[in-house]
Structures are given as C-alpha cells and as structure tokens.
C-alpha cells in the first residue's frame, strides 16, 4: 500500500495551476489605467486660443481699415503734389475758383471790426495787433465815447487811455500809437484820415496791412490784407511760397483782378478763422478740400471736423457787437459786450 503513495502528487500540480494564480495579472491591465488620459482632452482648453485668434483677426482687420484710410489720404496728398509744378495759368484758375467758392460760403464776409467812420476803423485796426477783433470791439465803444475825434484823442491823458485799452493787451504801446497817430492826423492832415497808402503808412503804428484795411473798407479802394490767417492759407494752397508779407501781397495780387482784392482778403481771413485753423484745420468740413494741396493736415473725419468749426459756422457768436444785417440774416449772432472780469486775450 505504501507503493501507491506517489499517486497523490497531482495535488502539487494543482498548486502550480496558472488559472487561479493569474488573477493578479488582470489587476495590472493597462486598458483601465489609461482612463485619466481622457481628462486632458484639448477641446475645452483650446477655447482661449480661439478667442485670442479672433482678437488678433479683429486687430488685423482694424489695422487694415486704418491702412486703407491712410492710403486714401496719401493718394490725395500725392494727387496734390502736381500742384507744386502747375503752370501759372493753372494756378490762376485754381486760385480764382477757390475765391469763388469761398464767396458762396461767406457771402456776408465783412471787416470784423466795429466802426462808423475811417478814424474809428484806423484806431481799431491798430489796436487789433496781438489780440482778437472781439476784444477790440468790446473796448472801443468806451474809447470812442470819450474821444470821438482825432483832436480829442490827441489831447487825451495817456494814463486814462491806458486804463481803457488795458483789455487789449500791450496797452501802453497801443496808447502811444493811438495818441501819436491822432496828433499826426490833427497836425498833418487837418484831422482827417488820408485816403492814400503812402500817407497812411507815415502814421505811428500804421503799416501796409492796417493801411489796406482802411483803404479797402473805409474808402472802397482795393487792397490785400496780409494778416497771419492770410499768410497761412495762401501757403497751404500753394499760391506762393513767400513768407514776407509784402512779397505775399505782390504774388497773390498777380493772381486776381485788382477789384477783387478787398473781398478776397475777407474770404481768406474768414475761412482761416472758422475752418482752416492754424493748429488743427477742419479738413473734413472744408468746402474747398478738393482744391487744397494741404488736405489731410487736419481732421478729415466729417463729424469730428464739424466740432472744430468756429463762430457762425459752429453756431457761436461772431466778433462784432454790431454786425451787418446780412450776417444776422445768415444766422450769425452778435458778440457779447465786455464783461467786468474780461482781460487781454491771445489773437484768434
């Protein structure tokens, strides 16, 4: 019976059976452990990238629009370059067309100084140096009420005149000129304002610009008034490259009939004060933009340019306390009188 004992050894074989012992191997199956990889799905994390891509596209689109707008201005500027080399005949035609169009825009243009006679206009023009016509118009009623004639002003007490003229700025120098030219009128011209250029420029404080204002508006004798506005605009329009007022006067005078000179001066000066400003011209609201080589130097957006308009073009009062009826009929408003706290102002 002991010889049969080895027959029970298959029990050891059961211990080595791989069927039950292989169960731990299933626990390390990689298929289930890779599930966390689904948490790193890139679909949701890519959303910010799409937003930035949209923003970049919008920026590029806006830049493209600006580039197109800039190109349009550049094209207009480039189109203006031939005007630098235009013939004299073409320049004459363009200059006269500008004046005709300005005459339609400002049919009521007039000297913006209040006056009732040549003496008042002469004094007011002298006082307008380095200040506004508005401030002069607010000051002269008191001056002329107290000193209505050259004889009266010639005999005035300088200190009293200085106090009246203080709001105009440079009141001491202006008092000296006003009293001095009044004495000259009294002593040399019988108390009358002369109607000749060569006589007017001999008076204290009177130059060619002042003389032409008086000649053109008090005597009806044509003259070109080359003030700061006139100088700025005629150079922007490339009517001349001169900087000296006398040379500008001569150069522009050749482009127009003599009979147009006074009205031309009004049209140019009015346009310079209302639309074609020194620092920021309202190019987008300018009626002669197609004829202007300097288009684009200022604001070209029509709505923004409209906000830059001054005086009656912007709905504001003008500079004269007693403007002509034609100005009032066109919607212009008279200027307010001098207030108690009003002092000197810069020219405008």
Name the binding residues for [4Fe-4S] cluster.
276, 283, 286, 292
Which residue out of 209, 260, 263, 313 is catalytically annotated?
209
Which amino acids are annotated as binding site, given as ranges? 276, 283, 286, 292
Clarify whether 263 is annotated catalytic.
no
Q: Which residue has the tokens 């679909």?
A: 43
Clarify whether 227 is annotated catalytic.
yes
Which residue out of 114, 133, 174, 227 is catalytically annotated?
227
Task: Return d(Cα 245, Cα 231) in angstroms, integer.
Answer: 7
What residues are annotated to the active site? 209, 227
């Amino acid at each position: 019976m002991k010889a049969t004992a080895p027959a029970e050894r298959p029990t050891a074989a059961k211990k080595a059976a791989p069927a039950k012992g292989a169960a731990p191997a299933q626990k390390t199956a990689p298929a289930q452990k890779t599930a966390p990889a689904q948490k790193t799905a890139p679909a949701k994390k890519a959303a910010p990238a799409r937003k930035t891509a949209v923003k970049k596209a919008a920026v590029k689109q806006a830049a493209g629009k600006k580039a197109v707008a800039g190109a349009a201005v550049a094209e207009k500027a480039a189109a203006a370059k031939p005007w630098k080399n235009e013939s004299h005949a073409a320049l004459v035609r363009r200059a006269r067309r500008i004046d005709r169009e300005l005459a339609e825009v400002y049919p009521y243009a007039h000297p913006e100084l209040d006056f009732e006679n040549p003496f008042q206009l002469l004094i007011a023009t002298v006082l307008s140096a380095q200040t506004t016509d508005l401030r002069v118009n607010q000051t002269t009623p008191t001056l002329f009420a107290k000193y209505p004639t050259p004889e009266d002003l010639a005999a005035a007490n300088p200190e009293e005149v200085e106090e009246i003229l203080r709001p105009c700025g440079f009141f001491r120098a202006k008092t000296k000129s006003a009293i001095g030219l009044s004495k000259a009128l009294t002593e040399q011209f019988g108390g009358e304002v002369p109607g000749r250029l060569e006589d007017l420029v001999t008076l204290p404080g009177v130059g060619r610009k002042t003389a032409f204002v008086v000649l053109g508006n008090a005597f009806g004798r044509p003259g070109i008034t080359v003030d700061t506005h006139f100088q700025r605009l005629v150079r922007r329009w490339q009517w001349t490259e001169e900087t000296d007022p006398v040379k500008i006067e001569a150069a522009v005078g050749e482009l127009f009939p003599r009979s147009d000179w006074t009205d031309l001066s009004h049209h140019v000066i009015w346009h310079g004060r209302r639309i074609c400003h020194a620092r920021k011209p309202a190019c987008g609201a300018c009626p002669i933009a197609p004829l202007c080589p300097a288009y684009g130097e200022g604001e070209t957006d029509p709505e923004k340019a409209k906000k830059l308009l001054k005086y009656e073009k912007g709905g504001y009062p003008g500079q004269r306390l007693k403007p002509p009826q034609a100005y009032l009929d066109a919607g212009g408003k008279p200027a307010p009188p001098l207030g108690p706290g009003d002092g000197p102002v810069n020219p405008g």
